[in-house]
Amino acid sequence: MNILDGKKIANQIKEEIAVEVAQIQTRGEKVPHLAAVLVGNDGASLTYVGSKVRSCKKIGFESTLIHLPEDTTEAVLLQQVADLNANSDIDGYIVQLPLPKHIDEEKILMAVDPDKDVDGFHPTNFGKMALDMETFIPATPFGIMELLRRYDIETEGKHTVVIGRSHIVGRPISILMSQKGKAANATVTITHSRTKDLQEFTKQADIIVSALGVPDFLKATMVKEGVVIIDVGITRVPDATKERGYYITGDVDFEEVAPKASYITPVPGGVGPMTIAMLLKNTLLARKRRQD
């Protein structure tokens, strides 16, 4: 069993980006500037956005955090998005999801300028991705692809079973892994809550990408020997013995499944850090495109 060390690879990617930022600075050009909009005080979202902003500082990007109260109206958020679209200092930005229930997420994402949409969630960018055109790839699936590439995992002709059909992970990774190219050319099955007899699929899988959000869902009996496991789940499980009051766990019962796997991502330290690194990569790309 080999660990797919997302933390290590993410640090390598961040170092590569930092070198480019230093070159940009040397040339006297503007460094990339990422903004993040956070509405409300969801604990996990606060952690993710905080991490994104800290990473920006580390690699020499400028960053702006726009933290709005939970009761922010849709109209106010749309105005904020319009301001960010118009602000020439901002190269790219994200609106952290999920948004409070009274705000129509789709309406907000549609309002983001596709050229600044470093999350790759706008239909223009998502459509381009599905058509193999160059665009911003959503950071989590982009991170999974990069992890597979850097560990030279054979995917061609392999059966990849994706668990979950979210717009952020399941749907895009199923598209990307079925495309031509490195870490792709796979035969992909996408499964979800209405799939009958999920185990029949996971037991056949050469590669499993689980993006379900149910702790310890995937058990050893559900996978075959030598499987490659990508665990995208990040769930906070309440635990009074921990200082923070919770621990983080994935979709995969790691202790059970790891001995059967050829490669496996840990949680934390697997896909999570890769997501942040790829968001930064998209922001650098946004800056370069604006420069050209």
Catalytic site residues?
Answer: 52, 96, 119
Structure tokens at 147: 């992890």
Q: Tell me how crowded residue 7 is: count the other CB atoms within 10 A of its CB.
A: 16
Among 80, 125, 140, 210, binds ligand GUN (CB under 6 A): 140
The amino acid at residue 114 is: P
Stretch that binds ligand GUN, among 20-28, 92-100, 145-153, 189-197 (CB under 6 A): 92-100
Among 103, 148, 168, 232, binds ligand GUN (CB under 6 A): 168
Q: How far is CA 88 from CA 34, 82, 124, 172, in A?
A: 12, 12, 21, 29
The one-letter code for the residue type at 26 is T
Tokens of 126: 């998502």
- 240-279 positions binding ligand GUN, by CB under 6 A: 275
Of 172 and 266, CB closest to ligand GUN:
172
Q: Which stretch binds ligand GUN (CB under 6 A): 12-20, 89-97, 148-156, 258-266?
A: 89-97
Considering the rule CB under 6 A, would residue 55 count as an interface residue with ligand GUN? no
By C-beta, is 37 or 229 nearer to ligand GUN? 37
Residue, CB closest to ligand GUN: 97
Q: Min. distance of Cβ 96 from ligand GUN in angstroms?
A: 5
> What b/e sequence results for 174-202 when a residue is b if at least 16 CB atoms lie within 10 Å of its CB, and e otherwise?
bbbbebeeebbebebbbbeeebeebeebb
Burial class, 151, CB count within 10 angstroms (exposed 0-12 / middle 13-18 / buried 19+): middle
Q: Is 63 in the site for ligand GUN (CB under 6 A)?
A: no
Is residue 177 within the footprint of ligand GUN (CB under 6 A)? no
- Decide: is 129 part of the binding site for ligand GUN (CB under 6 A): no
Structure letter (DSSP) for residue 216? T
From 139, 177, 209, 284, residue interacting with ligand GUN (rule: CB under 6 A): 139
Distance of CA 119 to the CA centre of its chain: 8
Q: Is 117 in the site for ligand GUN (CB under 6 A)?
A: no
Q: Which of 3, 18, 66, 97 binds ligand GUN (CB under 6 A)?
A: 97
Query: Among candidates 213, 222, 221, which has minimal Cα distance to 192?
Result: 213
**Which chain residues interact with ligand GUN by CB under 6 A?**
94-97, 119, 139-140, 168, 275
